[in-house]
Amino acid sequence: MAPGASTAHTMMEDKEKALHGALATVSMRSRRISQFAPLLIALVGLPARGKSQLAHRLSRHLNWNGESTKVFDCSEYRRKHMALYGSHDIFRADNQQGSAIRRQSAREAVQDAVLWLKEGNSVAIFDGTNITREQRRELDDYCQSDMGFRILFIECVCEDQELLERNIIEILHYSADYKSMSEEEAVDDLRKKLEHYMRQYEPIDGNLETISFVRVENMGETVTAHKVIGQKESGILGYLSGMRALPQTLYFTRHGESEYNVVGRIGGDAALSARGQLYARALAEHVNALAGREPLTVWTSELRRTKQTAADIRAPKYPLRALNELDAGICEGLTYEEMQERFPQEFAWRDQDKLRYRYPWGESYIDIMTRLRPVLAALEDDHNVVVVGHQAVLRCMLGYFLDAKLDELPYMNVPLHTIVKLTSYGYKYKVEMIKLPIDCVDTHRKQPKFSLYNNVWFRGIIGVYALLDSHYKYDVAPVAFIRLLCLVIYMILFTLADHARRLADIERDAAERTATIELELIDKKLSAEKSASDKRMQAELEAVEAGSSRGSNRGSRSINSTICTTAPLSPRAIEHGDIALSHKATTSGIPHVFQAGDAIQAHPQAWGPYGTNVAAPPGPLPTFQEVGVTSAPP
């Protein structure tokens, strides 16, 4: 064989080996990472592109759908290494110390995300910039090759100037980095920070990178997917495709008091009571005033009481079956006392796990959450909507927007005749409770502290009874006796449990009443102290004004007890004035006023005619927060 041919043959063999090695590596990686492996989502993009808003909205959506998800914000880790945010300089590429802090912060965030996934959770969201290809490659290799996790990159791009300006305003208002800065300083700092990032930014390129990614432009206006494989990833892609970024104001209210509410019955399709009709008119008056400023829509259930409540509202109305109240099955129309008497076992099981308990031939809270998914998806991207619904349904809807824990949903307090207003700010919602002055019953049932189903003896008795009931005939004397004995023991345990629950409720109510009384006493005491303080202050001011009008040789001056900024008293006022103040003016709870001749730390003659310090005063000039001079000397 010729030397050239030998060399070419060797090169071909080397290429084949390298190719087989690469294929083997890819094959091992594919085998190691299954469809059910935990998923790490890494955000990519410049600041003010909506990454944090997307991360938290996606986390809320995934948690609601049973995927335990948590957001790991790289900025929070950076702030742990810096007592105070200095300036934009930390984001310069040539700032080695700043770069080291940012790399360490990202490393800690990823490590905590990995620990979260190792604990058995489903999804971790790494909220960082990840603006270079090298950063993304290292993160991709670490998650897939080293940890065996799936990873999806989501790049946020924003070309809409209106949306970009809104994102910038939210950062300036809500970011912890700019709390101690003035508005001008914060705007300038953020602008320079963006410039530093833009010099380093390398957008994701599918031709140069082998990662799986989704590009979201203008918060859902355009969504592009590249190598997206997997059930979770496909579900996330579907959610991102329908997402929109809008400032939101949403209103939630239960129907007016119904006839069933008055007598304590659950479910049914009852009409409004007399007080419920009053609430319907008051609600219409309130909402119609809002509709006059900005158009809105009304969503109701298909049940009679919600339609009657919204009847007088002058806005488009949409009855939705998904908003119907929880179906109580065989317990529809019963009171809780009747349910406890007729179906004690069901009543105990419901107290044990109210979220997942399903009424016989009825529904559970989980069932409500399932049928609400399309409604919430539509509502999340809408604005100025009034939802007139039911207690269980509104608990689930409010729990979604407020990102409440699932086990807390069945016990959220959503009172009658109250409007719950949600206003979006950033990725969170501000809650405002608007109580309309119409009396109604209280239908809220608190979480019981004692559940009979937790009792081991009770569960054993129920198990024996069920076994005998399903395997033996009733006419066998020993079996009948044992069944009767089980029933007797069961009734005894149930009576004791009910007594314990009632005692626990009484104790809790008493503690709440005591706390309320204590708060009222504290408020009265503070009001009395404030009134006395105002009277003393007024008397002192009157005395000063009287003395000033009698003995001043430079004209009268008045002192106001106005609250000022933390600025020192003018040296000219000290030089010319007949007022001197000491440190006790700012350390005491009540402003202390001094007249001419009292002790002062800074001697008037140490200051020139225009406040120039011509000689060092014997002590520091105090800072006063609560007394202002209204007439400065000429």
Q: What residues are annotated to the active site?
A: 127, 158, 255, 325
C-alpha distance from residue 235 to each of 152, 228, 229, 231, 571 (Å): 12, 10, 10, 6, 69
C-alpha distance from residue 426 to each of 62, 153, 619 (Å): 19, 22, 48
Extract the runs of DSSP E, i.e. beta strands, from 110-212: 123-127, 150-157
Q: Give the position of tokens 């269980």.
A: 392
Rounded to the nearest angstrom, the gap between the alpha carbon of residue 529 and the centroid of all alpha carbons in its chain is: 37
SS3 228: coil
Rounded to the nearest angstrom, the gap between the alpha carbon of residue 147 and the centroid of all alpha carbons in its chain is: 31
How many other CB atoms are there within 10 angstroms of residue 606's CB atom? Answer: 16
SS3 288: helix
As beta bridge partners, residue 224 has 215
How many other CB atoms are there within 10 angstroms of residue 98's CB atom? Answer: 20
How many other CB atoms are there within 10 angstroms of residue 231's CB atom? Answer: 10
d(CA 110, CA 464): 51
Rounded to the nearest angstrom, the gap between the alpha carbon of residue 441 and the centroid of all alpha carbons in its chain is: 29
| Tokens matching residue 358 | 């399903």
Q: Give the position of tokens 């700012």.
A: 586
As beta bridge partners, residue 124 has 40, 70
Q: How would you classify residue 267: left for phi > 0, otherwise alpha for psi between -120 and 50, otherwise beta?
A: left
Instruction: Find the distance separating the first CA and the last CA of the chain, reported in whole Å.
Output: 109
d(CA 131, CA 204): 8
SS3 180: coil
Q: Where are the alpha helices (DSSP H) in 354-476?
A: 365-380, 391-401, 456-471
As beta bridge partners, residue 429 has 424
As beta bridge partners, residue 155 has 44, 215
Q: Which of 413, 474, 415, 481 is nearest to 447 (CA)?
A: 413
Q: Give the position of tokens 């007394």.
A: 627
What is the DSSP annotation of 558-625? -EE-----SEEPPHHHHHH-S----THHHHSSS-----TTS--SS-GGGB-TTS-B-S--SSPPPEES
